[in-house]
């Protein structure tokens, strides 16, 4: 008669001290991947529909975040309007 050990050995989840650890890591990666895919699908509806931000909106956001100073903001704003 064939036993389960004949096909699988000790198994991934029962292989000594590190078997359960490897099993938890694998299941953790699977769950992380599912959560990552679902969050990308549901948290970015503008990107999913192809609607993009206007360049001036992006510029305002960068200025508000402190990425650029007021001189750079005004220069780029003039460049965008011309």
10-residue mean pLDDT series, the chain (82 residues):
50 62 88 92 63 84 93 93 82
Q: Which residue has the tokens 């694998």?
A: 26
Q: pTM for the complete prediction?
A: 0.38
Phi, psi angles (nearest 5°) of residue 52: -115, 155
The greatest distance separating any two alpha carbons of the chain, rounded to the nearest whole angstrom, comes to: 82
Measure the CA–CA gap between 52 and 77, rounded to whole angstroms: 18
Q: What is the pLDDT of residue 43?
A: 76
Separation in Å, CA 30 to CA 13, 35, 36: 15, 9, 10
* Whole-number pLDDT of residue 48: 52
What is the predicted pLDDT for the residue at 45? 55
């Amino acid at each position: 008669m064939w036993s389960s050990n004949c096909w699988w050995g000790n198994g991934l989840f029962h292989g000594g001290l590190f078997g359960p650890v490897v099993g938890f890591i694998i299941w953790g990666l699977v769950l992380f991947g599912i959560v990552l895919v679902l969050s990308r699908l549901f948290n970015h509806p503008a990107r999913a529909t192809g609607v993009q931000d206007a360049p001036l909106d992006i510029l305002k956001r960068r200025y508000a975040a402190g990425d650029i100073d007021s001189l750079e903001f005004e220069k780029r704003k003039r460049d965008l309007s011309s």
